[in-house]
Chains A and B, each alone.
Chain A
Amino acid sequence: MKAGSRTHATKVVQYALLTLGALIIVFPILYAVGLSLMSGGEAAAYPPHIIPQHFQLKNFVTAVSEAPLGRFMLNSFIVSVIVTLAQLVTASLAAYAFAFMEFPFKKIIFLVFLSTMMIPGESTLIPNYLTIRSWHWINTYQGLTVPFMATAFGTFLLRQFFLTLPRDLFDAARIDGCGRFRFLWSIVLPMARPALGTLGVYAFINTWNQYLWPLLITNSTSMRTVQIGIGMLQFQDATTWNVVMAGVVIILLPSLLTLVLGQKQLVKGLTSGAVKG
């Protein structure tokens, strides 16, 4: 009995600590959601409210009409989908070569891929901006997507996964007269769905959340992405905080949803890489 009540007490403490941690982490997001449902007067009240007294959804309508959030969402969505698909294609192809093919300079070429992860984006920013401008790609979807279509991280991730597939598969397929591309398409990729899922979730969230690049190469309202567009909801005074937060909640939703739905994939993929170190 004594042992039982002790484990019970431990459990209570554990839940209390877990909940405290969760409250601290989630508080800023809860606060944003709370504000987004308040009236202007309540948003500016003192002492500040966290839970709205009267729920109202009007702020979301105001946010969407005040800044062209719909357009920004569409742009971000198009850009994120294009980059995600392109990365899945380029990374699968390259990872396939590294995992299944023998060719001269394989190690060197692999190192070339990895070395791109060491070069910070800030060190290539200025020439890339000048390149995109000289191609007249400012304010275009090409400008927002093409520079990010290849990924060393993704190639590495997929290669590691492909290497866990049995090599006999490859030999068997070749004896069957299955061409390289057909082997990749109809055997390897279906088996690699978990790894592709990880890369997909990762690429989508990262692209959706991009800030510096779209800030530089878009300047027309019609081509801005959500992350830049959120700045257009101006803080005039405390009574407009609710509208700004409604905008923030709208742009948070897609990436948080992707995260919650794809979390298992993401966790598995990210941790296997880091833990094996």
Chain B
Amino acid sequence: MQREEPKSEPGSQAKSGVKAKGAKELAHALVYLGPSLILFLIFVFYPMVKTVYLSFYLTNPGGDPVVWKGIQAYLTLLGSSSFRNSVVVSFLFVLYTVPGTILASLLLAVLANVKLRGIGVYRTLYSLTIGVSVASAATIWMLLFSPADNGMLNYFLHLVGLPKIGWLVTTRSALPSLALMTVWMGVGFNFIVLMGGLQSLPEEIFESARIDGAGRWKQFRHITVPLLSPTLFFLLVVDTIAAFQSFGQFNILTLGGPDHSTNVIVYSIYREAFFNSRFGPASAQAVVLFVIILILTLLQFGVVERKVHYQ
């Protein structure tokens, strides 16, 4: 065990001593940080830069950049009605899923935030979908959505006297159907986070509100929601990013169809890169996706977070 050098030494020796100490400390720290840093370098930072680099090229099918194209790929995307459609579809998907997921989970969390016998069982059930993979969820919902007579959802509609819906097979209903299934998948995680938020709220505030005669709705609107706003904001950011990145349900249930009505950006990148081997233009799409997510996240921090009530 080496003796620590004293913090301050007089004279010019001290400076080089401090420097040497700093270098030694950094070297020690890098032993611990090294494994993660190396992995991030290879699998996060290098590929991020490489994606931007590839977006300026046409590649051969092996993925090697061959022809410099400059910003041609981006200009092509701007003019491409198919890509514009993908951007719109992605935004619509986010719009359909994020508020729905948060509202449904908030409802369940408020319901489950009571002291009742057996409430633990309900809480476990409500968080169950966090363990359901997109592949199994999509397979189950494929059957629920079946447009045949014995499709479960259509049978329910029939029971309450409503007409059948085409679910995944019509251009109008396919995206909302995927959103419905995605909301279901997201409830588990959102519920767990909101439940934690609700349980950390101080009980006394509600008691004094009750004494002041505030009803349940008033308490919810004026106490619960403001106090819960940091948690709600966290979910808004995380859910938005996750919705933009959804892929499995599109690949399993609709393949971007019918008639491109569910062709979100991620699915379009996947087709372009791994079916058409056009890695350059696909990379340009990946860069655009990254920029969209980044801007949206910054906007959320800039605009929405001002309304967040931090204690």
Q: Does A32 contact B (CB under 8 A)?
A: yes
Residue numbers in A under 8 Å from B269 (CB-CB) = 122, 125-126
- In angstroms, how far is the closest chain B Cβ from the Cβ of A20? 9
B-facing residues in A1-56 (Cβ within 8 Å)? 11, 14-15, 17-19, 21-22, 25-26, 28-29, 31-32, 35, 44-48
Q: Does B244 contact A (CB under 8 A)?
A: yes
- In angstroms, how far is the closest chain B Cβ from the Cβ of A106? 8
CA distance A18 to B114 in the complex (A): 10
Q: Does B140 contact A (CB under 8 A)?
A: yes
- Cβ contact within 8 Å between A277 and B297: no
Residue numbers in A under 8 Å from B107 (CB-CB) = 21
Fill in one digit per residue for A212-256: 1 if any B CB lies within 8 Å of its CB, else 0: 100110000000001110110001001001001100100110011
Q: Does A140 contact B (CB under 8 A)?
A: no
- Cβ contact within 8 Å between A256 and B46: no
- Cβ contact within 8 Å between A128 and B36: no
Residue of B nearest to A255 (CB): B131
Residue numbers in A under 8 Å from B297 (CB-CB) = 118
CA distance A248 to B46 in the complex (A): 37
- Cβ contact within 8 Å between B126 and A205: no
Q: Which of A18, A28, A106, A113 contacts B137 (CB under 8 A)? A: A28
CA distance A113 to B44 in the complex (A): 10
Residue numbers in A under 8 Å from B195 (CB-CB) = 267, 271
Fill in one digit per residue for B178-203: 1 if any A CB lies within 8 Å of its CB, else 0: 00000010010100110111011000
**Known A47-B150, A116-B44, A255-B133: A31·B140 in contact at CB below 8 Å:** yes
A-B contact count (CB 8 A): 281
CA distance A251 to B136 in the complex (A): 8
Q: Which of A21, A90, A152, A241 contacts B111 (CB under 8 A)? A: A21
- Cβ contact within 8 Å between B48 and A25: no
Interface size class of A (residues with CB under 8 A): 35 or more
Q: Does B172 contact A (CB under 8 A)?
A: no
- Cβ contact within 8 Å between A131 and B128: no
Residue of A nearest to B148 (CB): A238
- Cβ contact within 8 Å between B25 and A102: yes
- Cβ contact within 8 Å between B290 and A103: no
- Cβ contact within 8 Å between B48 and A123: yes
CA distance A245 to B144 in the complex (A): 12
CA distance A212 to B149 in the complex (A): 32
Q: Does A149 contact B (CB under 8 A)?
A: yes
- In angstroms, how far is the closest chain B Cβ from the Cβ of A77? 14
- In angstroms, how far is the closest chain A Cβ from the Cβ of B20? 12
- Cβ contact within 8 Å between B51 and A14: no
- Cβ contact within 8 Å between B112 and A270: no
- Cβ contact within 8 Å between B47 and A128: yes
CA distance A244 to B130 in the complex (A): 21
- In angstroms, how far is the closest chain B Cβ from the Cβ of A232? 11
**Known A124-B47, A150-B35: A244·B139 in contact at CB below 8 Å:** yes
- Cβ contact within 8 Å between A18 and B112: yes
Q: Does B98 contact A (CB under 8 A)?
A: no
- Cβ contact within 8 Å between A26 and B36: no
CA distance A133 to B188 in the complex (A): 35
Residue numbers in B under 8 Å from A208 (CB-CB) = 133
Could you list 28 examples of A-B contacts with CB < 8 Å? A18-B116, A25-B184, A26-B125, A28-B140, A46-B149, A89-B35, A101-B25, A101-B32, A104-B23, A106-B29, A116-B44, A116-B45, A122-B269, A123-B51, A123-B290, A124-B47, A131-B43, A149-B35, A149-B39, A205-B131, A212-B247, A231-B135, A235-B142, A238-B148, A245-B139, A252-B133, A259-B130, A270-B196
What 8 pairs across the A-B complex have the smallest Cβ distances? A271-B196, A209-B133, A127-B47, A150-B39, A259-B131, A124-B47, A127-B50, A97-B32
Which B residues have a C-beta under 8 Å from some C-beta of A? 1, 22-23, 25-26, 28-29, 32-33, 35-37, 39-40, 42-48, 50-51, 54, 63, 107-108, 111-112, 114, 116, 119, 122, 124-137, 139-144, 146, 148-152, 155, 184, 187, 189, 192-193, 195-197, 199-200, 230-231, 233-235, 241, 244-245, 247-248, 251-252, 266, 269-270, 273-274, 279, 282-283, 286-287, 289-290, 293-294, 297, 310
Which A residues have a C-beta under 8 Å from some C-beta of B? 11, 14-15, 17-19, 21-22, 25-26, 28-29, 31-32, 35, 44-48, 89-91, 93-94, 96-97, 101-106, 109, 112-113, 116, 118-131, 133, 146-147, 149-152, 155, 177, 179-180, 205, 208-209, 211-212, 215-216, 226-228, 230-231, 235, 238, 241, 244-245, 248, 251-252, 255-256, 258-260, 263, 266-267, 270-272, 274-275, 277
